[in-house]
Structure 1
Amino acid sequence: MPVATSLLLFTLAALAEIGGAWLVWQGVREDRGLLWVGAGVVALGLYGLVATLQPDANFGRILAAYGGVFVAGSLAWGMVVDGFRPDRFDLTGAALCLVGVAVIMYSPRAG
């Protein structure tokens, strides 16, 4: 599977997980109700499904790499949806996480 497809899967997984968590947050913390919570639970389930589509067979590797995508994606979500303004440390940390994703997922391996 090409890197572009893998990156697309990470993006879809991030949208499902971060969006799902945000929907649950809105349902509970912002008193929007159980419909929001339920939609969030469905989105979180879709995240789990999308994560299984990655080509690597190692659960730990996929989830470790996805962690970096989640960090950067969460900051981006906050910027777009909630008006959050990350500082230079947020941005530096997110960049480091994305470098980690690249090393974990796309480094050449024997075999």
Structure 2
Amino acid sequence: MKKFLFTIAAGVMLAGCGNGGPSKSQVEAALIQHFEQASGGMRTTFERLDVGGCEKVEGGPGHACAVDGQAVIDVGGRAQREALTATFVFDEVGGAWKVVAAQ
């Protein structure tokens, strides 16, 4: 129980740090939604997802975040793995972070 409470407390403290950009879990949720929409609803997960520092986009909305990892897409019950190394721009829309651009 103590370990669980420590994990929650650490997550809350880390979420408060930074420059107002999305947390790693928010980035992952936004990427899942983005990939599932782009693939016509194919279930997507990520392995070894690493989110670099997110920086506020100058002169525009959102935060640009470097993302590295592996996308795992369920194609007819078969896992298709794709390397993922890109910069995505995330913006908060309606209370949730969304992918608004990819570079």
Q: Tell me, yes or no, whether TM beats 0.5.
A: no
TM-score scaled by length of structure 1: 0.28
Larger relative contact order (CA 8 Å, sep ≥ 6): 1
Structure (1 or 2) with the greater strand fraction? 2
TM-score of the superposed pair, with normalisation by structure 2: 0.30
